[in-house]
Amino acid sequence: MLSGKTILITGGTGSFGKKMVEVILARYRPEKLIIFSRDELKQYDMSQKWSAEKYPCMRYFLGDVRDKDRLVRAFHGVDYIIHAAALKQVPAAEYNPAEFIKTNVNGAMNVIDAAIDRNVKKVVALSTDKACNPANLYGATKLCSDKLFLAASVYGGQDGTVFSVVRYGNVVGSRGSVIPFFTKEAAKGVLPITDVRMTRFWITLDQAADFVLKALALSKGSEVFVPKIPSMKITDLAKAIAPECEHKIVGIRPGEKIHETLVAEDEGRNTVEYRECFVVRHNFLPGDQKNGKRCVEGFKYTSDNNTLHIGIEELRLVLARMSAEEGVAAGNHWRMEDLARG
């Protein structure tokens, strides 16, 4: 699908963007693979690994999703867009709400308008579990972004750009992940725990990239794709990383939840379950349930009611594999069951 095509990744210098570049270059032969981001140093660092000399398809485009004119210029000739650009830190959002709205909400609208104007074939936007029943400003901006992308397929016309959303939980080992934080704090002999009841969804970067590519291929417009991924207790993760450390309860931070949600109960009535994922549609069309099963009234998908769980021993295996496989080229992808054995 992507060979011979032009693909653009907004926020492409982040953890997800770099993994996506790795995967696309390993699997396909794109005409162009464009990294659109605002950080010139990160683009320079990426260009040292994926240089235009070695990878003639690579392009590095400086710009900000807040700047619609720059997006219109960057989207010229683009077939597919993966929209990963966002401000993401929950505490920073509480203190700087206007900045998050400018990037996550206004930026999403700019991406939509520019994609329609440039006749882009498909756009997949990355969302987060925090967009479901949001308890913080970051989640609220991502909920607004999701709504914009879900409405955009209609806004773009019947034969226009196809817009869809991929929603998943915390990415293991990504920038801002609790794993490097716990690893660093373990040297002090004490790990800070917000709440012993806390659970989270987890997905690896490899799985996230693979799932986004599947959504890009299968999307028809106005869908939210939610992968079936395991969840875990934060205390189990702490024990897996540093079993010798004491735990200090520090309390839940502003805007934080005890459990996360990937499909809210109000969305459950419009959700179809498939073997690997759930698909949320706001307006069902004939054929939407093909090969899938309509979820029952009251269905919800949360990190505490998830039937897929990772225990301490499984977590240690995952962490060991992360350490052993760090830097390995794309193609050796973990299977979903590797994180949900038993």
Of 19, 88, 130, 228, catalytic: 130
- Strands 32-37 and 261-263, bridge-based pairing: unpaired
Which residues make beta-bridge pairs with 162?
Answer: 122
Confidence of residue 6 (pLDDT cuts 50, 70, 90): very high
How far CA 294 is from CA of 228, 266, 297, in Å, comes to: 15, 14, 9
CA quadruple 216, 217, 222, 225: dihedral sign: negative
In a domain, 156, yes or no: yes
Domain containing residue 313: CATH number: 3.40.50.720
Residue 200 lies in a domain: yes
- pLDDT for 326 equals 55
Q: Residue 83 pLDDT more than 50?
A: yes
Looking at residue 330, its pLDDT comes to 32
Mean pLDDT of 252-257: 82
Q: What is the pLDDT of residues 294-341, one digit of tens each?
A: 999 899 999 999 999 988 998 888 888 777 655 433 333 334 443 333
Q: Is residue 276 part of a domain?
A: yes
Over the stretch 196-239, which tens digit does the pLDDT of each residue have? 999 999 888 899 999 999 999 999 989 999 999 999 999 999 99
SS3 content of the chain, % helix, strand, coil (to 5): 40, 20, 40
Q: Which pLDDT tens digit goes with each residue over 268-287?
A: 888 999 999 999 986 655 45
Helix (H, G, I), strand (E, B) or coil at 79: coil
Concerning whether 130 is annotated as a catalytic residue, the answer is yes
Report the number of distinct structural domains present in the chain: 1
Cα 257 to chain centroid distance, Å, stands at 18
pTM metric for this prediction: 0.89
In a domain, 291, yes or no: yes
Residue type, 332: N
In a domain, 172, yes or no: yes
Q: Is residue 1 part of a domain?
A: no
Q: Examine residue 294 and state whether it is found in any structural domain, yes or no.
A: yes
The parent domain of residue 246 ranges over 6-339
